[in-house]
Amino acid sequence: MIPQEIIRRKRDGQTLSGEEIAAFIDGLTREDVTEGQAAAFAMAVFFRGMSRDETVALTLAMRDSGDVMTWADIGRPVADKHSTGGVGDNVSLVLAPLAAACGLAVPMISGRGLGHTGGTLDKLQSIPGYNVAPDLALLQRVVSEAGCAIVGQTGDLAPADRRLYAIRDVTATVESVPLITASILSKKLAAGLETLVLDVKVGNGAFMESLEEAEALARSLVEVANGAGTRTTALLTDMNQPLADAAGNALEVRHAIDLLSGRKNGTRAHELVLALAAEMLVQAGVATTIAEARQQAERALEGGEALGVFARMVHLLGGPADLVERPDHYLSGAAAVVPVVAQEGGWLSACATRDLGLAVIELGGGRKRPQDDIDHAVGVADILPLGSQVSRGDPIAFVHAADRAEGERMAEAVRRCFAMSEEAPAVTPVVIERIT
């Protein structure tokens, strides 16, 4: 089939057949479809949408563009979680080892930064030696020995999605429910999962800013995944402020180690990790109720088992054996650290979270073009949560930058991301709704 004819039909609002979608994705995989044609297809889908059957066909075609893993001898339920992306969202770094410590096998296929959001792979690549692209044999060995492996798409897993993902990032076609659905699920289904939990972000730092948009995406994901044979639920979670108190690659790895070590208990990130872990354990049949599953996850965090799994995973994938004991020795630090100072007293009442994510990119912590290198050391850390009371001159956060001038310039940009009020604001809970 001729690619431009498929693009034209979707541009004109027609429904594509499964055969047309499969042919286009096959051409994308073999690079017979150009980047320009892939961008045009993505834009046509962005404006015209896709039916459920088209989305299922797109998901399965992208899954089948490479290998589909099997786990017959693993001896554990095979499960995973996926987030639709946010700012300061390093949950995967904590959740995968926590779920593994509770008895699950977690082959977590993750991605790089997309738009204003941070990418799990970019965070992991701030760890010296960490191999984000192992071959399938190594991936299976690490999951077998450590219980989990957080890696990127190998050349054999959903290669069509890897190519389309990079094109969407730089063509303003990220916020499309069918494209997001197919991108997420093609990777997850290729990993051979039995169960999946989805963290669908909603708010001014999410791709879906309204509750209605987020619910539509969550229902699309749940419906398509369950239709493909993978038991799936979704949590709608708040992204009207950064999830962790850090945004930036090495900074978020440090935060994850702190959370695994028990130094971030009671935070929003801690609460979300436990909520997602409980969903994973109940879906996999390891626990019968959410309350029982949450207690199991809390014990694995408090007892250090999850931290131990994280350390083993890092070492098996080429990272240092003592990362969790000496993170500052291995994780690069920025040349300049500049405080973001409150200009008046009051309560932090709102955050322009997307702008904060863009500030991290401006610092060099994300990409403006697919080929851009990332400075893993830069970002924003020690971010106070909304509802915090501050006095004039107090630090709201700290900018980590390549030099002092850049740090001072971006500190002002970060300060403008926050609004103050004279009274304590109502703060949205981190988990808003559960979708089945």
- Residues with active-site annotation: 80-83, 120, 168, 183, 187-188
Rounded to an integer, what distance in angstroms lies between the CA atom of residue 393 and that of residue 349?
17
The Cα 195–Cα 357 span in angstroms is 30
Interhelix angle 91-101/268-283, rounded to 10 degrees, is 40
Interatomic CA distance for residues 359 and 420, integer angstroms: 20
| Cα→Cα distances 139→68, 122, 321, Å | 13, 18, 18
Do the beta carbons of residue 420 and residue 344 sit within 8 Å? yes
Encoding tokens for residue 333?
A: 């630090």
Q: Which residue from 401, 373, 407 is spatially nearest to 125, judged by alpha carbons?
A: 373
Q: Across-strand partners of 390? A: 346
102: left (phi over 0), alpha (psi -120 to 50) or beta: alpha
SS (H, E, C) 288-334: CCHHHHHHHHHHHHHCCHHHHHHHHHHHHCCCCCCCCCCHHHHCCCC
State both tokens at 240.
């009207």
Instruction: Give SS3 for 64.
Output: coil
Strand partners, 106: 148
Letter for the amino acid at 348?
Answer: L
In the block, residue with structure tokens 């069509």:
160
Are 142 and 124 a contacting pair, CB within 8 Å? no
**DSSP assigned state of 366:** S
Shortest CA distance to 146 belongs to which of 3, 264, 297, 317?
317
Cα-based distances in Å from 410 to 98, 218, 332, 367: 35, 34, 20, 17
CB 248 within 8 A of CB 400: yes
Q: Measured at the alpha carbon of residue 397, what is the angle toward residues 245 and 373, in degrees to the nearest 5?
A: 75
Token look-up 């909304």 returns: 386
